[in-house]
Amino acid sequence: MGEFDLIETFFKRPPRHATLGVGDDCALLAVKSGQQLAISSDMLVEGRHFLSTVSPAHLGHKALAVNLSDLAACGAEPKAFLLSLALPEVQPQWLAEFSKGLWALADLYQCDLIGGDTTRGPLNICITVMGEVPAYQALLRRGAQVGDDIYVSGHLGDARLALEVFRGHLSVPQSVFDTARLRMEKPTPQVALGMALRGLAHAAADISDGLLGDLQHILKASGVGAEIHIAQVLSTMACAKSSGLPEEVLLPLCLSGGDDYELVFTAPEHQRGAIVAASEAASTHVTRIGKIIASPQLTLLDSQGSSVANTFSSFDHFKTP
């Protein structure tokens, strides 16, 4: 099978929103009046972002999910994406499963695959996603205000737990591993929540490199600091109790584990009811984990309210520990 048969067989479908999809030199996308286009790109490299043990269907899902998570962080509604693939060889079975995982998630959000690039090379998947957001309503990192509550969506730490089990650093019961592995390989982007937070949240980011690191981006961009209650953060971890692991092992997974694809966001206290309503409307739970403060540092507090040393570091591709 050649390059063009491959594209035709696995990656071409009539677009729903786009004016022109796969098959020409450019795709064409019309943006509705009063909307802005939100654009983001994420690359997945074997050995770096995923293990060779991952199923192709989960890989197809995850490649799009991590991109949709960036749209979610901005409160944008997914519309279209580009897929650039480097493949060592053409394996129709692998491509069939990969595209199945990809299309299932794309269909869920009616997000059109409108083009991309296909080349031979070490396995590498790069997706660029585009979404719409009403003009000037995008959630940004820079809007956090002193006194804001800080929230996270869903579960933190479970994906990193699975990675540490894969690496042989931790061991947990099989059923716990299965749950954690699914969180790592098949994350759910918080698209509905992001959209529901428009006009409510002052600032937001998605958690890809670990809570503390991604929260730091909000703090830096907004010129503020934060106090975080570590027990609240730990309470979000789905596998915490059933893992049988002690708190000192679990805490770094939640605070700086990464690969969570949840949202961290801030909102004023008077919006607490509205935030609960937004999370219910989006069928996800949110946990209030702290407050924005004026002093520009990130302080961790234990259940007695005493500060705990912050020795947790987030993932950075180029930093050596």
CB of residue 245 to ligand ADP, shortest distance in Å: 41
Site for ligand ADP in 78-107 (CB under 6 A): 83, 85
Contact residue for Mg ion among 25, 52, 121, 309 (CB under 5 A): 25
CB of residue 261 to Mg ion, shortest distance in Å: 33
User: Per-residue string for binding with ligand ADP, 1-20, x by CB under 6 A?
Assistant: ------x---x---------
Among ligand ADP, Mg ion, none, residue 267 binds (CB under 5-8 Å by kind): none
Residue 315, SS3 per DSSP? coil
Q: Are 293 and 188 in contact (CB under 8 A)?
A: no
Angle of helix 211-222 versus helix 247-256 axis, rounded to 10: 50
N residues, the chain: 321
Tell me which DSSP letter residue 281 carries: H
Measured at the CA of 57, the angle between CA 53 and CA 58, to 5 degrees, comes to: 60
Which pair of tokens denotes residue 138? 């995008």
Contact residue for ligand ADP among 5, 31, 96, 117 (CB under 6 A): 117
Count of residues that interact with ligand ADP, criterion CB under 6 A: 13
Q: What span, in angstroms and rounded, lies between the C-alpha atoms of 37 and 208?
A: 22
Among ligand ADP, Mg ion, none, residue 118 binds (CB under 5-8 Å by kind): ligand ADP
Amino acid present at 198: R
Site for ligand ADP in 234-273 (CB under 6 A): none
Count of residues that interact with Mg ion, criterion CB under 5 A: 1
Q: Are 192 and 153 in contact (CB under 8 A)?
A: no
Nearest residue to ligand ADP on Cβ basis: 115
Contact residue for ligand ADP among 5, 24, 269, 316 (CB under 6 A): 24
Contact residue for ligand ADP among 2, 14, 25, 283 (CB under 6 A): 25
How distant, in Å, are the alpha carbons of 51, 269, 294 from that of 80? Answer: 27, 35, 39
Tell whether residue 118 is a contact of ligand ADP (CB under 6 A).
Answer: yes
Which pair of tokens denotes residue 177? 């591993």
Question: Which of 50/151 has CB closer to ligand ADP?
Answer: 50
Listed ranges 19-27, 134-142, 262-270, 271-279: which one lies at the site for Mg ion (CB under 5 A)? 19-27
- HSE on the CB side for 1, CA within 13 Å? 16
By DSSP bridging, strand 35-45 and strand 124-134 are antiparallel
Which pair of tokens denotes residue 284? 């996800």
CB of residue 108 to ligand ADP, shortest distance in Å: 18
Tell whether residue 60 is a contact of ligand ADP (CB under 6 A).
Answer: no
CB of residue 85 to ligand ADP, shortest distance in Å: 5
Contact residue for ligand ADP among 15, 17, 18, 22 (CB under 6 A): 22
Contact residue for ligand ADP among 15, 56, 101, 116 (CB under 6 A): 116
Residue 190, SS3 per DSSP? coil
Contacts of 178 (CB under 8 A, 6+ apart): none
Which pair of tokens denotes residue 161? 């737990």
Among ligand ADP, Mg ion, none, residue 302 binds (CB under 5-8 Å by kind): none
Residues lying near ligand ADP in the complex (CB under 6 A): 7, 11, 22-25, 83, 85, 113, 115-118
